[in-house]
Structure 1
Amino acid sequence: MVSNYAVVLGILCSVLGLIFYTSTFPSLKKFYDIIPPVLLSYFIPGLLTTAGVFAPEVVGDDSAIYKVVSQYLLPATLVLFTLSMDLKTLKRLGFKTVMVFLAGIIGVVTGGPIAVWIVKQFSPATVGGEGADAVWKGLATIAGSWTGGGANQVALKEIFKPSEKLFSQSVSVDIIVGELWMALMIYGAGKSLAIDRFFKADASAITEVQVKLEAYQAQNQRTPQLRDLLMIIAIGLGVTGFAHAIADTIVPILKEYPGLERFSLTSKVFWIISMATIVGITLSFTPVRQLEHVGSSKIGSVFLYLLIATIGLKMDLWAIADNPGLFAVGVIWILIHGVFIVLAGRLFKAPFFFMAVGSQAAIGGPASAPVVAAAFHPSLAPVGVLLAILGYAIGTYAGYITGLLMQWAAY
């Protein structure tokens, strides 16, 4: 068993490098269309742990690697994603885009407790449990993923503290159900003209934004210099340090009121994540957001995939066999989300592009929303990123509310 943290980190980085290097091979395009890099980034480290490659002490919550990525890289990831928000571009698409996206978020927030309640009627044990094994705590991490992304999922894991076994089961539901949903959205992209005719939707706004995005990218993107990269690191980790300082000040005061613990308001992680997100959104209205031209969100993505791979280390790939009923919760949940998306599309006569990308920005986040957007046209990929970034801004809060509602529904 590998117990040296340097070796573990080297293996994780090598796995990520191999995944993304081979994802550019034309001969493997069909493979990666079916099994995207984000899925492999979770499961390959999980396979290595299941095979006994890593010692238990290097894959748990107390491991040095997990502490670094969860306490330092996670808040920095949220800062670097949210500071690049461009509300003007979203505004050009009209209110329909954001409204369909928000309808999808509402579908996740309401669908979670409804799915828990439905499954509870047939199998109370599936959604029961106490303490760290309370199923709603694991499902809350899915809510973070389905309203924001991987960083929000990790944030809610740190806030609600589900057991590792329960979290592994939840990640399996998240990935498998979520990837099947993405496949459905990509399939729909090929039928978008027929779907738009059915909804009587006008897609001219998409064409206009497509032209403007191509011109904007060509004019502003530039090769990053050392100064730029250091500024990105300074902002990401500097805000992270500020968020830690605020949490260290607030939490001891709140602990004087025991009733707040039930809502996780005495959790340092909750305040760290909240402050990092708020500051990141604030910075998006300042010249700091120009760091996106030199790759701030790409650095954030590097941090995110290190998070994903580290979480993968903790996965027990046999755990899902202990509670297969969780898949029923996931399927019912995502179907309710789909109903909200379709109703919003019908109400606003929105093109299928808005429905597909808005849905995937919620369910898949920045890792897959651009893939769905690019299935319509490559230049539209940034629209998926923008909506997914909006999801990152609200994902932790939406997931937190969903978790509390599922707690109520489960008991």
Structure 2
Amino acid sequence: MIENGFTYLALLMMIGSAIVYSEKKSQHKLFEYLPSIVIIYFVVMLFSTFGLWQKSESVTATYKTVKSNLLPAMIFLMLLSADMREIFKLGKKMLLTFFLASVSIAIGFIGTFTLFHTYFEPNSWKAFAALSGSWMGGTANMVAIQGALDLPDSAMGYTLLIDSIDYAIWVMILLALVPFAKKFNLWSKADTSVIDEVGERLALKEDEKKPIDFASLFFLLGSALFVSALAQYGASFLPTTPFLTTTTWIVIIATLAGTLFAMTPLAKISGGSELANIMLYLIVALIASRANFAELTEAPLYILAGFVIITIHVSIMILFAKLFKLDLFSLGVASLANIGGVASAPILASAYSKALIPIGVLMAMTGYIVGTFGGLMVGKVLEIIGQ
């Protein structure tokens, strides 16, 4: 049983690096269907279930400190390889897809509650309303709706249970689907020329970069950590609302910094993507370390309801993908920007292309704006159904 924070962190790093090294050296077919990031998530969650580490004060402090400090640094480094002038060419389509995802999630909640509400306690609609706020925005929206609807803290346990388990599995599925993007796009007849063009242009820019060297890596690492520190310091002075929490401000500042510096000579320094990926894989391992397969035996009806919501959401998205010729990247990032928020949408976007990370961040930010209002609207409908 690991109780020391540094040992816990070192083990996560070792697990992640060993899996990535195996993918690179073995070239096993398993990695064609399950990317290393998915396997890391599964393996770490499995160890968490077996209780390899304890949520001691040291481990919890390490988790919070490393995750909160690395997230803005990772976003900054990843955005250095993105040119917003190219990204804006995708903006309209992505935003429309985002709102399609929001509406389909709302329909999923309404349809699921209509089917299952007689099996839940009378005021269960409040828990689902709070969850809908989270799945159309983020945790801040969930808390805002909890206060607005006077949802007891004890009832929030069900909401958090669905949010953690169903969301975790959905992230794994979306990441595992990345290799099948081309086949899906052929089926939906999606035009990915704009996305492909951006990727090709960025590939050419990558070719122009100089080889990675020690000085470059050191300077980029120092810059990223310094931006992370400044973002957190600056965010502490900014006003907060249910929509704009301190964490949201930190992400916004890091995003703006990365976007601005992407147009400076700093973006031409090699090694940013590699450092960002190390941080990314560690963050994913940290997230998985707080999950637990044993929780699948608790409140099975609530967990099932969460999967039904996602199934309805996915069915509607696939239907509109065929009708409007949408690509898998747009659908996946729009879905995760709603359900996962700002911490996970960029992760999925990066699995497709580092150039598309800003879209994931911006779409997740949109979720913070619409999540509370959307959740309250869904809650009103659920209340009517539950009467």
Interval of TM-score (by shorter of Structure 1 and Structure 2): 0.7 to 0.9
Residue of structure 2 aligned with 1:333, choices 308, 313, 316: 313
Which residue does 2:5 correspond to in 1? Answer: 5
Alignment of 1:218-233 (within 5 A): 218-226=207-215, 228-233=216-221
Seen in structure 2, the aligned counterparts of structure 1 residues 164 and 77 have a Cα distance that, compared at 3 Å, is farther
Q: Kindly state the Cα deviation for residue 305 of structure 1 after the two structures are TM-superposed.
A: 1.8
Residue of structure 1 aligned with 2:285, choices 299, 302, 309: 309
Alignment of 1:290-301 (within 5 A): 290-291=268-269, 294-301=270-277
SS of match in other structure, 2:52: coil
Which residue does 1:86 correspond to in 2? Answer: 83
Consecutive unaligned residues of structure 1, counting only runs of 5 or more, are: 145-152, 255-259, 346-351, 374-383
* Number of equivalent positions: 358
- % same residue: 19
Residue of structure 2 aligned with 1:247, choices 222, 225, 235: 235
Seen in structure 2, the aligned counterparts of structure 1 residues 22 and 90 have a Cα distance that, compared at 3 Å, is same
Seen in structure 2, the aligned counterparts of structure 1 residues 108 and 210 have a Cα distance that, compared at 3 Å, is closer
Seen in structure 2, the aligned counterparts of structure 1 residues 232 and 139 have a Cα distance that, compared at 3 Å, is farther
**Residue 273, structure 1, aligned to residue 273, structure 2:** no
8 A contact 1:101–1:362 mirrored in 2: yes
Name the aligned partner's letter for residue 365 of structure 2.
T
Alignment of 1:4-403 (within 5 A): 4-26=4-26, 28-29=28-29, 31-57=30-56, 63-90=60-87, 95=89, 97-124=90-117, 125=120, 134-135=127-128, 167=160, 169-180=162-173, 186-187=179-180, 189-190=182-183, 196=189, 212-226=201-215, 228-251=216-239, 260=241, 263-265=242-244, 267-291=245-269, 294-321=270-297, 322=299, 323=302, 324-345=304-325, 355-363=327-335, 365=345, 367=347, 384-399=353-368, 401-402=370-371
Seen in structure 2, the aligned counterparts of structure 1 residues 297 and 190 have a Cα distance that, compared at 3 Å, is same
Q: Kindly state the Cα deviation for residue 33 of structure 1 after the two structures are TM-superposed.
A: 2.8
SS of match in other structure, 1:301: helix
Higher alpha-carbon deviation: 396-405 or 70-79: 396-405
Q: Distance in 2 between matches of 1:9 and 1:171?
A: 21
Q: Distance in 2 between matches of 1:160 and 1:46?
A: 29
8 A contact 2:45–2:288 mirrored in 1: yes
Q: TM-score, normalised by structure 2?
A: 0.75
8 A contact 2:2–2:53 mirrored in 1: yes
Q: TM-score, normalised by structure 1?
A: 0.71
- RMSD over equivalenced CA pairs, Å: 3.9
8 A contact 1:101–1:387 mirrored in 2: no
Seen in structure 2, the aligned counterparts of structure 1 residues 299 and 51 have a Cα distance that, compared at 3 Å, is same
Q: Distance in 2 between matches of 1:207 and 1:81?
A: 18
Q: Distance in 2 between matches of 1:370 and 1:393?
A: 14
Q: Kindly state the Cα deviation for residue 407 of structure 1 after the two structures are TM-superposed.
A: 4.4
SS of match in other structure, 1:318: helix
Q: Kindly state the Cα deviation for residue 103 of structure 1 after the two structures are TM-superposed.
A: 2.9
SS of match in other structure, 1:28: coil
Q: Kindly state the Cα deviation for residue 70 of structure 1 after the two structures are TM-superposed.
A: 3.2
SS of match in other structure, 2:235: helix
SS of match in other structure, 1:2: coil
Q: Distance in 2 between matches of 1:230 and 1:154?
A: 35
8 A contact 1:23–1:37 mirrored in 2: yes
Q: Distance in 1 between matches of 2:166 and 2:122?
A: 14
Q: Kindly state the Cα deviation for residue 192 of structure 1 after the two structures are TM-superposed.
A: 5.3
SS of match in other structure, 1:56: coil
SS of match in other structure, 2:24: coil
Q: Distance in 1 between matches of 2:185 and 2:321?
A: 15
Q: Kindly state the Cα deviation for residue 309 of structure 1 after the two structures are TM-superposed.
A: 0.9
Q: Which deviations, in whole Å up to 9, do the C-alpha atoms of 1:71-99 show, x marking residues without a partner? A: 211222222223332134457xxx4x544
Seen in structure 2, the aligned counterparts of structure 1 residues 123 and 64 have a Cα distance that, compared at 3 Å, is same
Seen in structure 2, the aligned counterparts of structure 1 residues 309 and 268 have a Cα distance that, compared at 3 Å, is same
Q: Distance in 2 between matches of 1:35 and 1:158?
A: 34
8 A contact 2:35–2:175 mirrored in 1: no
Which residue does 1:349 correspond to in 2? Answer: none
